[in-house]
Amino acid sequence: MTERQEFEATDIAASTDPKFVAPERKVFMRTYGCQMNVYDSNRMTDVLGPQGYTATENLEDADLVILNTCHIREKAAEKVYSELGRIRKVKEARALDGKDMMIGVAGCVAQAEGEEISRRAPIVDMVFGPQSYHRLPKILAEAATGKTVIETEFDIDAKFEHLSAQAAQPERKRAPAAFLTVQEGCDKFCTFCVVPYTRGAEVSRSVEQIVTEAGQMAAGGVREITLLGQNVNGWHGKAPDGSTWGLGRLVRRLSEIEGLDRLRYTTSHPRDMDDELIDAHRDLKTLMPYLHLPVQSGSDKILAAMNRKHTRDEYFRLIDRIRDASPDIALSCDFIVGFPGETDQDFQDTMDLIRRVEFGSAFSFKYSQRPGTPGATMTDQVPEDVKSARLAELQALVANQQTAFNASRMGMTCDVLFERKGRNTGQIVGKSPWLQPVPVDGPDSLIGTIQPVEITGIGSNSLFGRLVAGHHASVSSTDAIKEAVFDA
């Protein structure tokens, strides 16, 4: 066993051994960016629990602060340094009271910036990339000696082994909906994107690892799982018999888990949307009628410059196949406007694609240069005012389509998974099959259950409804069993 493997074995034992007791401390976790970062932050909190850390939302109370960063947005690193400046003042104020505060920067900015972070922000004790959080006990121990720890090696297999070790622990009560990472990294190398450089090459977890973790989540009360990956439909995992499965076969296997009623996955690439996965949308009631399938541009010239390796016509044909399999599906998308060389006609090609596809929702952004990517060095950068005008025009069109899609749900009765209390007294909020939030008047006892709701109103992002009389109960039989287990 190598020294690193010994460290990793120690990390897993320290973060999962129920006999391990540590003094009570508080951690403040700030998460930026994607859903995978949300998942990673939750797993970091799990790792820190046996070390005596409980989560706090009050920065001033924190013994440990971790910024889990994202490098996708414009000026991402500068925003992190600005936040560190604010944290420095809190650390200094705590020091006057004789209290220490350790500071860590995690995630993709940490991976990209490395030692530059500790140079520009000496208050940072730990810098570690997205493949290293499972080694937090070791990292914390080293940082406690006064050493600034930089941990940015790619060791995703060790991270996946750690996730599997966590999943093998006794079940605990969980929220009704949760994320589950099945794949990380990307091999596509789109010219605008930093993911291959900050998350590494595509790596897929095994079928056994995923099914085990999903089963533990369901046993803990999770009714809906969203499978996560930078290129999630590129997942190809090893099965127990040594064969390799694709995502379509995986969701069929996960649909067999008792108590797991809903499945989603994000984010997908058009090149990896195969027949097996499309057929799963046709066949599985557990696979929700929602698909986020980024196209980025409607111009073949810009798609080629982005290295997307698909054309607009190929995207149209793919959408037709998906809608043939699942006519009621809500389609979501990503768009980048103002990529280098984008002309007015290129932009109008994108607007034409949006009109023809008709999306239920979309995320849209102005192109921003990411250091180290091919796009950052391209000539013919689009002026900022042009990008802003195009973005506003595109977002107005998408907003109209989203309103039209929501309006098409009026009068329907659909199943809603209730996840939390609403803003108003006596209100609970759930999620529709198409991912919109749905607030209704109802008792808190329905949180964690799936109930039929009649849609009576719409908002820009939400659906409003009322519970169908005579159908709801406080808990299902499965939920009652789980409650008995947790109350024992």
70 labelled binding-site residue: yes
Q: Are residues 136 and 251 in the same domain?
A: no
Cα atoms in the Cβ-side hemisphere of radius 13 Å centred on 198: 25
More confident residue, 470 or 218: 218
Q: Which of 323, 295, 480 is nearest to 398 (CA)?
A: 295
More confident residue, 210 or 12: 210
Q: Which residues, in sequence order, are CB contacts of 5 under 8 Å at separation 6+? A: none
The length of the chain is 488
- 323 domain residue, yes or no: no
More confident residue, 72 or 313: 313
Q: Are residues 395 and 424 in the same domain?
A: no
- 161 domain residue, yes or no: no
Q: Are residues 147 and 199 in the same domain?
A: no
Q: Which span out of 26-35, 173-182, 457-466, 470-479 was modeled with the highest average pLDDT?
A: 457-466
What is the pairing mode between strands 102-107 and 64-69?
parallel
Q: Which of 312, 367, 311, 361 is nearest to 340 (CA)?
A: 367
CATH number at residue 248: 3.30.750.210
pLDDT band at 43 (very low <50, low <70, confident <90, very high): confident
Instruction: Please report, rounded to a whole number, the percentage of residues in the chain having pLDDT higher than 70.
Output: 87
More confident residue, 4 or 299: 299
What is the arithmetic mean of pLDDT over 98-113?
87
Domain boundary among 155, 190, 224: 155
Q: Which residues, in sequence order, are CB contacts of 261 under 8 Å at separation 6+? A: 223, 224, 286, 417, 450
Q: What does the pLDDT look like over 356-373, one tens digit per residue?
A: 999 999 999 999 988 788
pLDDT reported for residue 131: 74
Helix (H, G, I), strand (E, B) or coil at 106: strand
Between the alpha carbon of residue 444 and those of residues 181, 281, 331, 421, 456, the distances in Å are 29, 32, 31, 7, 21
Q: Are residues 84 and 201 in the same domain?
A: no
Q: Which residues, in sequence order, are CB contacts of 72 under 8 Å at separation 6+? A: 33, 34, 108, 193, 194, 195, 370
Q: Are residues 10 and 116 in the same domain?
A: yes
pLDDT band at 166 (very low <50, low <70, confident <90, very high): low
pLDDT band at 158 (very low <50, low <70, confident <90, very high): low
Q: Are residues 140 and 21 in the same domain?
A: yes
CATH number at residue 12: 3.40.50.12160
Domain boundary among 358, 376, 406: 406
Q: Are residues 282 and 349 in the same domain?
A: no
- 50 domain residue, yes or no: yes
- 431 domain residue, yes or no: yes
pLDDT band at 113 (very low <50, low <70, confident <90, very high): confident
pLDDT reported for residue 472: 59
Cα atoms in the Cβ-side hemisphere of radius 13 Å centred on 24: 4
Is 284 a residue whose pLDDT tops 80? yes
pLDDT band at 169 (very low <50, low <70, confident <90, very high): low
Helix (H, G, I), strand (E, B) or coil at 448: coil
Which tokens sit at 154? 């790619």
What is the pairing mode between strands 262-266 and 224-228?
parallel
Domain boundary among 389, 406, 423: 406
CATH number at residue 387: 3.30.750.200
Q: Structural domain of residue 448, as residue ranges?
A: 413-487
pLDDT reported for residue 404: 97
Instruction: Please report, rounded to a whole number, the percentage of residues in the chain having pLDDT higher than 90.
Output: 66
Cβ(293)–Cβ(333) below 8 Å = yes
- 163 domain residue, yes or no: no
Is 275 a residue whose pLDDT tops 60? yes
Q: Are residues 424 and 374 in the same domain?
A: no
What is the pairing mode between strands 413-421 and 427-431?
antiparallel
Q: Are residues 70 and 188 in the same domain?
A: no
CA distance 248 to 157: 23
CA distance 12 to 430: 35
Beta strands across the sheet bearing 224-228: 177-181, 224-228, 262-266
pLDDT reported for residue 433: 98
Peptide bond into 267 cis (omega under 30): yes
pLDDT reported for residue 119: 87
333 labelled binding-site residue: no
More confident residue, 68 or 287: 287
Is 110 a residue whose pLDDT tops 50? yes
Q: Are residues 391 and 418 in the same domain?
A: no
A 10 A CB-CB count for 34 gives: 18
344 φψ region: left (φ > 0), alpha (ψ -120 to 50), beta (else): alpha
Q: What is the pTM of this model?
A: 0.76
- 328 domain residue, yes or no: no
What is the arithmetic mean of pLDDT over 302-316?
98
What is the arithmetic mean of pLDDT over 196-224?
91
414 labelled binding-site residue: no
Q: Specify the DSSP class assigned to residue 482.
A: H
Is 22 a residue whose pLDDT tops 90? no
- 324 domain residue, yes or no: no
Give me the number of domains the chain comprises. Answer: 4
pLDDT reported for residue 8: 41
CATH number at residue 445: 2.40.50.140
Is 14 a residue whose pLDDT tops 80? no
**Tokens 């991270």 -> residue:** 159
What is the arithmetic mean of pLDDT over 253-278?
97
Q: Are residues 18 and 141 in the same domain?
A: yes
Is 159 a residue whose pLDDT tops 90? no
CA distance 264 to 168: 23
How distant is the alpha carbon of residue 357 from its chain centre?
25
Q: What does the pLDDT look like over 333-346, one tens digit per residue?
A: 999 999 999 999 99
- 249 domain residue, yes or no: yes
Q: Are residues 81 and 224 in the same domain?
A: no
Largest CA distance in the chain: 66
The dihedral of CA 443, 449, 452, 454: what is its sign? positive
Is 471 a residue whose pLDDT tops 80? no
- Phi, psi of 384, deg, nearest 5: -60, -40
CA distance 87 to 91: 6
186 labelled binding-site residue: yes
